[in-house]
Chains A and B, each alone.
Chain A
Amino acid sequence: MAPELTPVLSRGWLDSEPWTLAGYQRRDGYTAVKQALRMHPDEVIQLVKDSGLRGRGGAGFPTGMKWGFIPQNDGKPHYLVVNADESEPGTCKDIPFMMADPHELVEGVIIACYAIRASHAFIYVRGEVLHVLRRLQAAVSEAYAAGYLGKGVFGTDFDLELTVHGGAGAYICGEETALLDSLEGKRGQPRLRPPFPAVAGLYASPTCVNNVESIGSVPAIVRNGVDWFKGMGSEKSPGFTLYSLSGHVKYPGQYEAPLGITLRELLDYAGGVRPGHRLKFWTPGGSSTPMFTEEQLDVPLDYEGVGAAGSMLGTKALQIFDETTCVVRAALRWTEFYAHESCGKCTPCREGTYWLVQILKRMEKGEGTEEDLGKLLDLCDNIVGKAFCALGDGAAAPIQSSLKYFRDEYLEHFERGGCPFDPSLSTAWADGPLSFARTSA
């Protein structure tokens, strides 16, 4: 039997004006932070460690352990930076969460800062989402006016400033060290590690960088307890999370479920692949995670399960493509994205992504040769693991995985001298205006 959906972060999204302070307080908003402020900061860190919460931004690193890495009594200012630069293709969970429920993030920020003993936090939001900025700015000013931020938070002697910072269009700033450079007003380019941000992060001070969903999950854990949280998901991947279904699925959207649910189960909830079509390939966690096919429909979507199946859980961005989609076109378009977003710092990524695009373009037009397939894989080998950050590894993922499952489709392009697919059949309106909308009783 499929696990039940577990709306926690999404629980209030049908409420009246859930983005306001009053709306958030109607669903126990800001009760967790009051509990946390009565605890010793180290106890708060221990609680998050005990919960087993793992980072929701892609890497899955244990959040409490990250907090524990911040050195204490070091005489330096500490910073919390929330990574709200959601840009990984397919990923669309943090943006709707911040639009509907910005106060839950603010509450998580206060708890996290108290735990790591930071007195200034930043929410680094990608710039291209104006309404998210509006909602965050409004929530932060409401929290200041209520005394939840600023001098003496909730009447304690704990001071906290929170700054909402808009980015300016650069996927690479989702990488935590590039984000820190960007927040310092520089080009967003990754730093060599060590030193890690926990030791020398923002302004060379100890800094914790956490994803929006990770921080947003903290108030619920404090409110409901470790046992409640561990009652969902698996032993090594406990808890609830937002799975984002997009593409050729009847009801795309956000589905909050325990970690370890499968795509087959999620598709059942989402009405299945669009009517009259069948699943061809999908990404488990954004375009940087190697693609799957229907063979992996029953893989548990948690950190271990997806890893064991040869990919990564990533951001749980499930992009669904049906049989009308050309995988070469998909791989080319993702590769163009990585070439565009490569920051230019490391030669293998900067030059490699450029050449990958040239070869893939030739292939899509049917002008490639079988030898080009070997060259593509060779180029991927020269990028993976040879750059400062994971962007290069991500660039290789769609190519390597699509060649693994669909080598014949690449060959068919050469044999026919062109793409065998009609792109108009993949569109949202291909099966008529109602193909996606309100068709079920």
Chain B
Amino acid sequence: MAESEHSYHPGRREYIQIGVILTVLTAIEVGLFYADPPPAVAIPVLLALTALKFILVVFWFMHLRFDTPLFRRLFFTGGILATIIYGIVAATFYFGGA
């Protein structure tokens, strides 16, 4: 186990706590959906909740918080690059002059 010297992994207790938080967040998402608020309110809130869940899984379950920063950089390079370039593509479709 190469990692044991220099990386801390959370234990069962923390994993279960995260699992509970994820459950609650999902419940809020679904609840929000059925409350049927105007999309201008609902969409930012839904995206925020999604981002929160994303971060919990990535940083705790995938140990990015505890592992070497290189892994974080690799993952976020991919994620951010994808967001930027596909964002620009989508923007040219919505605001393009064609």
A and B: real partners? no
Residues of B near any A CB (own CB < 8 A) = none
Residues of A near any B CB (own CB < 8 A) = none
